[in-house]
Chains A and B, each alone.
Chain A
Amino acid sequence: MPEIYSLSSEHEVADFIKNCNSEEVPIEIIGHNSKSIGRLIQCSKSLHLKNLSGIIEYFPEELYIKVKAGIPLALVEIELDKKNQELSFEPPDMGFLYTGQSNKGSVGGAVACNLSGSRRFRAGALRDHILGFRGINGKGEIVKSGGTVVKNVTGYDVSKLITGSYGTLVALTEIVLKVQPKNEESQTLLVSNINLKRALNIFSKSMQTSVEISGACFYPAKMSKFFKLNDLDTTTSITAIRLEGPKISVVERINTLRKLFDEYKKTISVLENYQSRIFWKNTTDLQFFNNSKNIVAKIILPPVHTDQFINKFENEELKYVVDWAGNLIWVEIPENDSVLLRQLRTEVTKLAGHMTIIKAPNHMRIKEDFLTTVDENIKVLSLKIKESFDPKKILNPGKMYSGI
């Protein structure tokens, strides 16, 4: 078992990492331990940042919040909600996937994994909402980048590089996130009992209009049973499109889409505000794979290839849900089916996409890559970047790729 160091100030974290660097001791960085993404690594020391918590400043009219990295994400969302604001990239609650219970983890952890919810294709990913950060690099130096303003081209955009780096470049201490007003109304247009191809066609057609959809997902019939919503038929496939904004505008846009998809009028229905919000929260939080005992992976593809990809595996025991208007496929693969896992990965790569394993049993996390094997040149460059922050490779070594 690693020795646990639970530190509560940036200064302590800097000193701790400086010492580990001089002794070349690898450190695993932990926020709230709410996610198990990445390769399983074993370090003799474990740095816990849960106590590095608190809101530093929040100015609703300036549309940003500055927090210490260990603060619970859920707490930040409560504060924003008081001012009728939110993080518009909809950070998912990954706790349901890992343990069956809510646990949104820390802001630092969310940034390190760059996870975004169903609104991602409209509002951007977490990486589009980070304005600045402070953190400690592998030498124990405080590094910072960005600021609190949205328009800033002063120096490299290191905030983006840090986002999704799984703690391999810095231990985050402070984060500035852009915040947005909450939408007054959310409604969801549902089309039941159509296949994926038709669903993707509906997404594509909707995106070619000016109705500004902010959610577009598809559940095959076998996947929708878990929903407990009065107005949702879970006996067939579900194709869902979300519209948000002022109520009058939402209603108007729903009607525009109803007309556009008149051919489905017998199977079209609408989820009103309350149920619509629950529907998308469940989708973003991966409730369909609640406490899964299998391998769960996130597949990103250009949306025109999504149907072809799923077709190829339709005879397999593949459980899947499509989100982000066809750009994202969540899949669950039986734990012992490494053949299927490889086939999926090969096919994804062929179609210019990638697959990231989000949940896997520990024995797999030790030996399997959790990212799609990438271009050798990118690996070489990634290693050089890693070394530019952390020359002795002591921060989460091997978490992303073996050797990085």
Chain B
Amino acid sequence: MSTLAMPKIDQSVLNDKDSIVRDLKKFTNSINIISDPEGITPYETDALSAYKQKPMAVVLPENTEEVSDILKYCHKNNIKVVPRGSGTGLSGGALPLADCVLLGLSKFNKILEIDFENRCVVTQPGVTNLSLTKAVEHNGFYYAPDPSSQIACSIGGNIAENSGGVHSLKYGTTTNNVLGVEIVLMDGTIMRFGGKKLESEGYDLLGLITGSEGLLGVLTEVTVKILKKPQSVKALLLGFQSVEDSGQCVSDIISGGIIPAGMEIMDKPLIKATDNYAKAGYPKDVEAILIVELDGTESEVNILIKRVEEIAKKNKSTYLRISKNDEERLRFWLGRKAAFPAIGDMSPDYLCMDGTIPRKKLAEVLKEITKLSQKHGLRVANCFHAGDGNLHPLIMFDSNIKSEMKRAEKFGADILKYCVKVGGVLTGEHGVGIEKRDLMCEMFNDEDIQQQLNIKQAFDEKSLLNPGKVYPILHRCAEGGKMHVHKGDTKFKDIPRF
């Protein structure tokens, strides 16, 4: 387990634990309060399981009024609160603090209204991402953002992290697909931002809280827009003799006026790993593969497939297959979606990084990663959401060898710093949390960070809601931890990660 500086523990709060737990029982059914050591253990970490901390108590409220009462009480008594959805986050955003009340939203698990006329769904925040699509697909609709953990992650958590997925180039991330929320501020104030209408007036508070990692308020209701499923979806599986060629192909597709639904590149180490693992039938004699998925009407997709085929040939693709049916298309994705477990199979531990870079810098960044791999003496495989520039290097190491975890973390930090150097950012979709908190100074200076802290103050003047996350404590820039997977033993090992 790694260690990291967290906000100072308030001993007076810990001393009052028994009376706090007693008080909390006034606000919700007493079975919703957990404070025994065994009961709180499942809440000690999220999917960044290298970091663990038991909270003082866990409370699982059942409605908005209860959330408001609990927050009001904690605000009045200076008790820190850490909100939690499904706990599938990869950056430690839901990591408890020793003196905190962990506020779990798992009981907010009902879809409240499906409104096809206004093309939206009103739901409680604990509902999983995939159940939204499941609830509307009988009418041919779906909810667009599709983070890989969608079978388990909650929609409230998606808003907190502004989750993406493989289709965000064309369909946007969570922020482009949420219409409204009911939110409770740290002082217990219940508010609504947005609603069923397309936009609101005044400051874009909905835009601000999306991706705010649970620092500004606790969501108690969510309205998202739903889209009609495209008529036709097809994919191309392309192979190249160099990563540069695959990257250039992506640039040419976009310059050619085509916005595919998804584009994914995998490098040779990852192709090998996934093919051994998932038997996806990828070509073995290539340095990189590119999956391009196109959607729209039948004839539109056919035209676009032809255009992409021409562009691929111009970029010296040495392998080309077009999906004949949905089954084959899903097989193209099979290896890509098996990337994380495949690496877990090859190495006792791995760290998953999450930088975003300008697409044209892919070859340069991959070269640098290879250099860094030699420097740190650790293996790495890379997958790349090429459409939106989101790069996930998977750093392999063995935590039984003492120095390797540290080396892996240093390697990860070096990659992210390089992403920023070429004009990219620290995190595309996993969030800052505690994982990249201390790298924030790579992207922002003191004035930028202070401005963001001032915004936090406007919502939570005492800084009691999820403190210690996203923004460095004392602005210290050092290496943080990364998503660490030991013996394939992730906290949610059954959910896909890509």
User: Which residues from chain A sit less than 8 Å from chain B, CB to CB?
Assistant: 59-63, 83-85, 114, 120-121, 124-125, 127-128, 137, 141-145, 147-158, 160-161, 163-165, 169, 180-182, 184, 204, 207-212, 245-246, 248-249, 252-253, 300-304, 324, 327-328, 352-354, 356, 371-372, 374-375, 377-378, 381-382, 384-385, 387-389, 400-401
Contacts and interface: CB of A to CB of B under 8 A. Distances in A.
B207 A127 contact: yes
A233 B119 CA distance: 31
B382 interface: no
Contact of B425 (A120, A147, A356, A381): A147
A163 B207 contact: yes
B60 to A, nearest CB: 26
Q: Which 6 A-B pairs have the closest CB atoms?
A: A160-B207, A181-B257, A249-B300, A384-B458, A388-B454, A151-B428
Nearest to B185: A381
Contacts of B239: none
Given A61-B254, A248-B303, A253-B297, A353 B197 contact: yes
A75 to B, nearest CB: 22
B357 to A, nearest CB: 7
B455 A378 contact: no
B228 A209 contact: yes
Contacts of B425: 147, 149, 152, 154
Given A182-B257, A208-B116, A210-B230, A120 B198 contact: yes
Contacts of A124: 172, 176
Contact of B199 (A125, A149, A372, A387): A125
B470 A155 contact: yes
A62 B444 contact: no
Given A249-B303, A377-B191, A128 B204 contact: no
Nearest to B213: A153
Contacts of B255: 60-61, 83
A381 B458 contact: yes
Given A151-B173, A252-B297, A388 B451 contact: yes
Contact of B458 (A60, A157, A388): A388
Secondary structure call for the B interface: loop
A142 B300 contact: no
A164 B203 contact: yes
A327 B195 CA distance: 12
B356 A210 contact: no
Contact of A141 (B161, B390, B447): B447
A91 to B, nearest CB: 15
B70 interface: no
21 contacts: A61-B252, A62-B359, A124-B176, A125-B199, A128-B175, A143-B447, A147-B423, A149-B389, A153-B211, A158-B452, A163-B204, A181-B257, A245-B300, A248-B303, A300-B200, A324-B198, A328-B198, A377-B189, A378-B205, A387-B458, A401-B202
Indicate the size class of the contact surface on chain B. 35 or more
A161 B208 contact: yes
Contacts, number: 250
B37 interface: no
A356 B199 CA distance: 12
A8 B215 CA distance: 37
A354 B201 contact: yes
Given A153-B162, A156-B211, A157-B208, A249 B454 contact: no
Nearest to A300: B197
Interface stretch (B38-46, B317-325, B340-348, B429-437): B429-437
Contacts of A377: 189, 191
A303 B197 CA distance: 7
B196 A161 contact: no
Given A128-B176, A249-B303, A374-B202, A303 B118 contact: yes
Contacts of B262: none
A157 B210 contact: yes
A156 B208 contact: yes
Given A147-B443, A208-B228, A371-B201, 19 more contacts: A61-B255, A128-B176, A137-B451, A145-B452, A149-B389, A151-B168, A151-B385, A154-B427, A154-B436, A161-B203, A181-B254, A204-B117, A210-B140, A246-B299, A248-B299, A303-B117, A304-B117, A352-B197, A388-B454
Contacts of A300: 197-201
Contacts of B298: 252
B424 A302 contact: no
B168 A62 contact: no
A142 B448 CA distance: 8
A149 B388 contact: yes
A352 B256 CA distance: 42
